[in-house]
Structure 1
Amino acid sequence: MSLEDRAAIVTGASSGIGEATAHALASEGARVALAARSEDRLASIAADLETKHGVETLVVPTDVRDEDAVEALIETVVETFGGIDVLVNNAGLGRGGDVADLATADYRAMMDTNVDGVFFATRAALPHLQESDGNLIFVGSFAGQYPRPGNPVYAATKWWVRGFAHSVEAQAGPEGVGVTVVNPTEVRTEFGGDDGASFAERFEPGEVSEPEEIADAIVFAAGQEHSTVHEIDVYRRDKFEEW
C-alpha cells in the first residue's frame, strides 16, 4: 500500500523512535499527526516534516494516560484528515529497579502509560482503522519476550502489549485491520536503561539499534495492504551472546 496522503498517528512523537517514525512516514508521503505531551517539541518536529517532506501535519498535545485526551486526539485527527489509516502506539515509559524497592508512583506511571495509554488509543482508533482497512502498530520490546530481571514491571507491561496486540489482531483481522508488534532491544534514544542512564548516553553509534532502524520496520508494516506483518524483532547482533 502506498502511504501517499494516508493519515497516520504517532504517539510519543516528541523524540526517539516516535520522532524517527514521523519522519519515515512523512518521507513516504503520509500525513502525520504527532501526539505527545510536549507541544513545543511537537511543533518543531511538525515544521521540520513540512519543510523536508512537504506533507500535511497535525500537532495534538496528548497525555495518553488521560482517556478523554486520547478520545479528543482521535476525534481531532478524523475531523482534520478525514479518517485514520495508521496508528503507531509508541508512547512508553520505563522505570528501573527491584520490585522490593520500586515506588508505587513509578509502578503506576508505567502501567498508566504502557498499558492504559495503549488501550485507550487502540479502542478509540479501531473503528476508523476498520473503515480504512488500516494498520495498527504497537512498539513492543525485547523485554516483552524474555525475562528482564532488572526491570520486571516494565517487562510485564510489554508482555501485556504483545498479548493485547495479538488478541486484537485475531479480533480485528477479519474486519480488515492489520496488526503488527515491533520489538526493539536497546535503541540509542533518551529512553532510560536499567541503571538510570539513557541509552543515548550508554552506547556509542553503531553499538545498538538507531531509532531510524525501528522506524523503517514500522513503516514497512504500515505499508501493508492485504497482509499482516505479525511481528518484527529488531535486535542488536550480539544480543544473544549473553544468553
Structure 2
Amino acid sequence: MSQTQSPSAPRLAGRTAIVTGGSRGIGAAVARRLAADGARVAVVYRSNSNEANAVVESIRKTGAEAIAVQADVADAASVNTMVTTVREAFGAIDILINNAGILEGQPVGEIDQTSFDAQFRTNAFSVILVTQAVLPHVPARGGHIVNVSSSLVYRPRAGLAVYAASKAAVDGLTHAFAVELGPRNITVNAVAPALTRTDMTAPIPDEVKDRMRESTPLGRLAEPEDIADAIAFLASDDARWVTGRTLKTDGGFI
C-alpha cells in the first residue's frame, strides 16, 4: 500500500481527501492539516458556506489545493453529488474523514424521536452514506477512512445519552467496516475526542469545562489541532498497520 516518494515529499502528496463537517472546529483543523501534509482537500459543509470558503482560501494561500462542496451528509442524493464533484475536480479519492455531526442534549425523560433520528442520521447513518459513495473511487492501492467518535461512548454524561449512543454506533461501524474493507487495503479507524474547544462546545458552562480540565492529566482542554494531528496520522501510510481501532484522543481524561 505504501507509495514510493522522494524523501522531501509531503507524506500525503498526490492524495485526495474529503473532510465532512470541514467548515469549522475539528473539521477545519483537519482540512488544514491534511493540506499541509500535501493532500488535495475537499471541505464539505452543510450550511456554513462563508466559513468553508474561508478554510479553502487559507489552504490555497499555502499553495495547496482545496475546494468547498456543499452537501447534506444524511441525504444519499446530496452525498452522491458531492462525491461526483470531488471526483471531477481531483480524481481518485484516497482519504475520507467522516467528521460531520450534531449534538443535542436531552434528559432521559425528554428524549424524543425527532432528536433521536436527527442525531443518528447525521452522526451515524452519514458514515454509511458517505463511505458507500466514496468506495467506488478509492484507487487499487487502497486508502484510509477515519471516523470521529467521542469519549462520551466510554464515559457518558447526563443528558447526552442519544449523542453517546450515536457515537457508539460510529465505533461499531468503524470496526465492522475495517473487517470488510481490509482486503481492499482500506484502513478504517476512529478517534474519540473528549471536550474540545470549538464553537459546538462553547455553550458548555465554564464549571463543566473546569472539571474536565482538572480531570485531564495534561491540565487543559483539547484544541482542534490536537485532534487533527491524530487524524492525520491515521489518514497516512504511517498508520498502514492500524485498522479497526478507536483512538482515545482525550488527553488521558480520567
Question: Shared topology, TM-score over 0.5?
Answer: yes
Structure 1 stretch displaced more, 108-117 or 80-89: 108-117
1:228 aligns to what? 242
* TM-score relative to the length of structure 1: 0.89
CA contact 2:171–2:246 (8 Å) conserved in 1: no
Does residue 118 of structure 1 match 2:131? no
The 2-side partners of 1:129 and 1:199 are apart by 42
Deviation sequence 1:148-192 (CA, Å, 0-9, x none): 433110011011000011000000011110111111111011124
Does residue 109 of structure 1 match 2:118? yes
Which of 35, 42, 67 is equivalent to 2:52?
42
C-alpha displacement at 1:227, in angstroms?
2.0
Structure 1 stretch displaced more, 98-107 or 36-45: 98-107
What amino acid is the match of 1:11?
T
The 2-side partners of 1:145 and 1:173 are apart by 26
Equivalence map 1:187-226=2 (5 Å): 187-192=196-201, 197-198=203-204, 203=209, 207-224=220-237, 226=240
**Ranges in structure 1 where 5+ consecutive residues have no aligned partner:** none
Structure 1 stretch displaced more, 87-96 or 124-133: 124-133
Cα 1:116–1:201, aligned 2, differ >3 Å: closer, same or farther? farther
CA contact 1:214–1:234 (8 Å) conserved in 2: yes
Structure 1 stretch displaced more, 202-211 or 109-118: 202-211
CA contact 1:130–1:175 (8 Å) conserved in 2: no
C-alpha displacement at 1:77, in angstroms?
1.0
* TM-score relative to the length of structure 2: 0.86
2:184 aligns to what? 175
The 1-side partners of 2:206 and 2:96 are apart by 26
Cα 1:221–1:99, aligned 2, differ >3 Å: closer, same or farther? same
- SS of alignment partner, residue 34 of structure 1: strand
Cα 1:92–1:201, aligned 2, differ >3 Å: closer, same or farther? farther
C-alpha displacement at 1:202, in angstroms?
6.4
- SS of alignment partner, residue 58 of structure 1: strand
- SS of alignment partner, residue 59 of structure 1: strand
1:71 aligns to what? 80
- SS of alignment partner, residue 96 of structure 2: strand
Structure 1 stretch displaced more, 73-82 or 214-223: 73-82
Structure 1 stretch displaced more, 111-120 or 201-210: 201-210
CA contact 1:17–1:189 (8 Å) conserved in 2: yes
Cα 1:79–1:131, aligned 2, differ >3 Å: closer, same or farther? farther
- SS of alignment partner, residue 181 of structure 1: strand
What amino acid is the match of 2:241?
S
CA contact 2:92–2:139 (8 Å) conserved in 1: no
Structure 1 runs of 4+ with >6 Å offset? 199-202
What amino acid is the match of 2:97?
V
- SS of alignment partner, residue 207 of structure 1: coil
What amino acid is the match of 2:145?
L
The count of residues paired between Structure 1 and Structure 2 equals 235
**Ranges in structure 2 where 5+ consecutive residues have no aligned partner:** 3-10, 214-218
